[in-house]
Amino acid sequence: IVSEYRAQKSDPYRIRITVGGDQIHYAGETFTPNADITTSKVLFNSVISTPNAKFMTIDIKDFFLTTPMEQAEYLRINAKYLSPEFRTAYNLNEKIHSDGYIYCKVKKGMYGLKQAAVLAYENLIKNLAPFGYAPIPNTDSYWAHKTNPTKFCLCVDDFGIKYFTKTDLNHLINALQ
């Protein structure tokens, strides 16, 4: 359980439950391409040097948390960390095992899962393909549209976007939604 105070957020008091990724064995690939500084500079220089090009950033909220997983993982939470009010509000008292833990099935990406980033990336490829977006071959997370000049680089859940028209930008935003 991670608690933070982040003054810049609309709700600055943040509590997150993370999966103990160091405790879970995952045999699949976990590497996810992320834009490095060189890729980012190529995009920035391209925006600066191209007449009428514009730049925008987008952050996908809960990018990892909304990704479905083909195979569920499991975690346990010691009930002593959950207040009686919280346990009552969510009917958790009846779910407390005799060992004092609540056992949870994880069916979507979650902070701490080794595979969360790669599953989110693969899901992004699948979901953006019908809209004409795909990673540019031989690059780390540099994407382009098939017919319009929109390009973007992706670093975790942050997009740096080069676009020319509001229509093209809205096309990408709608595709991401």
Residue 163: CA atoms inside 13 Å, Cβ hemisphere, count?
18
pLDDT at 24 over 80: no
Question: Which phi and psi angles does 137 have, rounded to 5°?
Answer: -55, 145
Whole-angstrom Cα distance, residue 23 to residue 41?
37
CA 31, 107, 13, 3 torsion-angle sign? negative
Average pLDDT of the residues of the chain? 89
Whole-angstrom Cα distance, residue 2 to residue 16?
5
pLDDT at 141 over 90: no
Tell me what pLDDT residue 64 has: 79
State the pTM of this model.
0.78
Question: How close are the terminal C-alpha atoms of the chain, in Å?
Answer: 29
Q: What is the DSSP letter of 61?
A: T
- What is the average per-residue pLDDT within 50-65? 89
- What is the average per-residue pLDDT within 74-98? 94
pLDDT at 60 over 80: yes
- What is the average per-residue pLDDT within 58-73? 85
* Model confidence band, residue 12 (pLDDT cutoffs 50, 70, 90): very high
Identify which has the larger pLDDT, 63 or 159. Answer: 159
- What is the average per-residue pLDDT within 106-128? 89
Residue 12: CA atoms inside 13 Å, Cβ hemisphere, count?
4
Whether the Cβ atoms of residue 174 and residue 70 lie closer than 8 Å to each other: no
Tell me what pLDDT residue 62 has: 79
Q: What is the DSSP letter of 110?
A: -
